[in-house]
């Protein structure tokens, strides 16, 4: 089992998702006592209350844990849409995360942040550090509602694999992303007990009333009730009436896909902040599962290396496109092992498999094209 540590762990959304996927989280690091206390209530491994801007001390402590994976979401307030949109203070912790990775050099790392962080100066510095340490990077903005979460929440992930090329996980992620946005009804059925709810907008030019038949808007760190002066909005899911209310704190945690059994330790204001800051558990689980699938594939075989080189030199594919084709062939092999060359009969048999039928039309089409290319390569 992969041994991991979680930096800037908060209350544990990222840890819980990775743990659920089958990764051994052996320790967490969180400087905010409130979040660290909450984390301790829900996990059996230790929480270190270290200021990670002191990278020298942090590196010594983390190195002793010997992780093969480091995950973490450096505080994102300075990058967020709700904040001042300037880079200062906390943004430097993105650089601290990169410096820690560069010093310890785990085989893998996963860094999470708000979508706009990808264009920040802090991330530009971090990226240069990752590349100097010889990490191949898969950089992607994920919509949580396409990754098993009933919430329209976009987050940036940088997944690093030591001593590889960039975009190693791109095709795996693309294969796993859903074609349909998940709604609250999709996730919870009819158990919620309401059809419409209020989420306070940043200004009244935006809608505020939502239906459970759509993904929830992003859960923020504050939760305001319906104000007496709310004027309504033409795009509201229904007119304001006495049954429409703001979500409770526990309902907001559910939208973040925390289980009902999760213990929230802190006053209401702190709990709301922890919920708003957290990585949705199922989004973390999605990313962890993609990483585990990549790891399970192992190093490429001689045939795969030859096939990839053929795509580059004979078909003039880009490195990214060639890797995607090889990955599609691996995906087919995982569904239906191929004893000999892939041919028309193999493709026919593959199309009858239930695991193949549930894939999106575009992914099935990509797999067919990839297999035809591999057959052409093997026939030469």
Tell me what pLDDT residue 102 has: 97
User: Which residues, 6+ apart, have CB-to-CB distance to 313 below 8 Å?
Assistant: none
Give residues with Cβ within 8 angstroms of 180, minimum separation 6: 146
> pLDDT of the chain along its 380 residues, tens only?
899 999 999 999 999 999 999 999 999 999 999 999 999 999 999 999 999 999 999 999 999 999 999 999 998 654 544 444 444 444 589 999 999 999 999 999 999 999 999 999 899 999 999 999 999 999 999 999 999 999 999 999 999 999 999 999 999 999 899 989 999 999 999 999 999 999 999 899 999 999 999 999 999 999 999 999 899 999 999 999 999 999 999 999 999 999 999 999 999 999 999 999 999 999 999 999 999 999 998 888 888 889 999 999 999 999 889 989 999 988 898 899 876 677 788 889 999 999 999 888 889 999 999 999 998 898 87
**What is the set of active-site residues?**
76
Q: What DSSP character marks residue 203? A: S
What is the sign, positive or negative, of the torsion defined by CA atoms of 292, 97, 28, 280?
negative
The residues spanned by each domain of the chain are: 3-178+279-296, 300-379
d(CA 55, CA 157): 22
For residues 221 and 218, give the distance between their C-alpha atoms in angstroms, rounded to a whole number. Answer: 10
149: helix, strand or coil: coil
CATH architecture of 3-178+279-296: 3-Layer(aba) Sandwich (3.40)
Q: What is the pLDDT of residue 74?
A: 93
Global confidence as pTM: 0.88
Rounded to whole angstroms, how far apart are CA atoms 209 and 204?
11
């Amino acid at each position: 089992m992969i041994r991991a540590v979680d930096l800037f762990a908060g209350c544990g959304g990222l840890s819980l998702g990775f743990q659920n996927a089958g990764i051994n989280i052996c320790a967490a690091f969180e400087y905010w006592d409130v979040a660290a206390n909450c984390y301790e209530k829900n996990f059996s491994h230790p929480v270190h209350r270290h200021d990670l801007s002191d990278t020298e001390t942090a590196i010594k402590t983390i190195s002793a844990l010997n992780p093969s994976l480091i995950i973490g979401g450096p505080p994102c307030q300075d990058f967020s849409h709700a904040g001042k949109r300037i880079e200062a203070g906390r943004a430097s912790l993105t650089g601290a995360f990169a410096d820690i990775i560069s010093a310890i050099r785990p085989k893998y790392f996963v860094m999470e942040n708000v979508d706009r962080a990808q264009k920040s100066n802090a991330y530009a510095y971090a990226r240069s550090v990752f590349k100097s340490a010889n990490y191949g990077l898969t950089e992607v903005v994920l919509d949580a509602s396409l990754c098993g979460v009933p919430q329209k929440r976009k987050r940036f992930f940088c997944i690093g694999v030591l001593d590889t090329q960039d975009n190693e996980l791109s095709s795996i992620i693309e294969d796993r992303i859903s074609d349909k946005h998940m709604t609250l009804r999709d996730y919870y059925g009819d158990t919620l007990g309401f059809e419409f709810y209020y989420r306070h907008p940043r200004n009244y030019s935006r809608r505020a009333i939502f239906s459970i038949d759509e993904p929830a808007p992003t859960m923020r760190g504050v939760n305001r009730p319906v104000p007496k002066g709310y004027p309504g909005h033409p795009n509201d899911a229904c007119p304001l009436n006495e049954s429409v209310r703001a979500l409770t704190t526990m309902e907001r945690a559910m939208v973040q896909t925390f289980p009902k059994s999760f213990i929230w330790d802190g006053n209401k204001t702190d709990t709301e902040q922890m919920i708003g800051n957290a990585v949705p558990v199922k989004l973390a689980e999605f990313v962890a599962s993609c990483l585990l699938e990549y790891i399970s594939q192992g190093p490429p075989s001689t045939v795969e290396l030859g096939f990839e080189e053929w795509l580059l030199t004979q078909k003039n594919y880009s490195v990214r496109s060639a890797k995607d084709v090889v990955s599609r062939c691996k995906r087919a092999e995982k569904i239906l092992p191929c004893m000999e060359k892939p041919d028309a009969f193999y493709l026919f048999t593959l199309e009858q498999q239930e695991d193949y039928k549930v894939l999106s039309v575009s992914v099935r089409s990509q797999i067919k094209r990839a297999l035809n290319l591999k057959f052409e390569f093997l026939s030469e």
